[in-house]
A = this chain, B = another copy of it.
Amino acid sequence: MSRRRAMLAAAGLATAITGCKPAEQSTDKAEIRYAKNEILMLVYPRFTTLDLIGPQHVFALLGPEFKTRLVWKDRSVVTSDTGVPVTPTMTFDQCQDNPAILFVPGGTDGTLEAMEDPVVRDFLATKGATAKYVTSVCTGSMLLGAAGLLDGYRATCHWLALDTLRQFGAQPIRERVVVDRNRVTGAGVTAGIDFALTLTSLLKDDEYAKTVQLMMEYDPQPPFDSGTPETASPEAVELLQAMSDPFLRNVEDAIARIKN
């Protein structure tokens, strides 16, 4: 990248890293002009924390022109599925249209509850209609699907729940990150980091994304090779499938209710 571009990138990173203020809760009228650079990240009771925080770390390094919001119906604390109490920074009512990114993290029972909530589906459908990118990680794509945002799109999901996407008219794809027009979806949990670096390269450019990767020292060295059903032991795969059976049955029931 050019020297000037590099310095701009560095300035963005530096502000993002050291200048972070909790003042993102502002709803100042003057901010309306930034609506296109808003990144609306849904939080909800029992969302999966790492689905959110992998991408949120990357998005926070996009520079000060982007505003990363944690959005929910109200500002009351939502507790994630690993027990982390997070305070939303913006309510549905305060969100502008035309966000740069609409993002949805996954979960299990909490995701089902959110899928069955018409207020959540309406919010996602409305913001998704005008978002530059409509995105998710893990079972967050089920929520996008329930809001009608994946009909006719290629998309991915956690490997255990991938096939459910068919019921929303989506074409399930077993890839880590799937980009189809402005829909960008990531596979299970940890795929959120690969997903967000991919999205960063689309929103900025490859050089910027590579600098973010260096800043977060993303040089993964898993101690084991067991991250997919193809590489894990058959017994581990069978165990997790058995564990997820009740959840997947509940998904079927929820989808039937939503469609009625």
Contacts and interface: CB of A to CB of B under 8 A. Distances in A.
Given A57-B49, A159-B217, A216-B189, A223 B198 contact: yes
B222 A240 contact: no
Contacts of A10: 239-240, 242-243
A173 interface: no
21 contacts: A7-B239, A13-B243, A17-B108, A49-B56, A53-B84, A60-B81, A60-B82, A68-B82, A77-B87, A87-B87, A176-B219, A190-B217, A193-B222, A194-B222, A209-B226, A210-B226, A211-B240, A214-B226, A214-B227, A214-B237, A215-B240
B20 A81 contact: yes
A86 B83 contact: no
Contacts of A83: 20-22, 24, 60, 68, 89
A198 B223 CA distance: 6
A78 B171 CA distance: 41
Contacts of A89: 83, 85
A228 interface: yes
A260 interface: no
B84 A56 contact: yes
B17 A81 contact: yes
A239 B211 contact: yes
A70 interface: yes
A224 B213 contact: yes
Interface in A231-260: 231-233, 235-237, 239-240, 242-243, 247
A94 interface: no
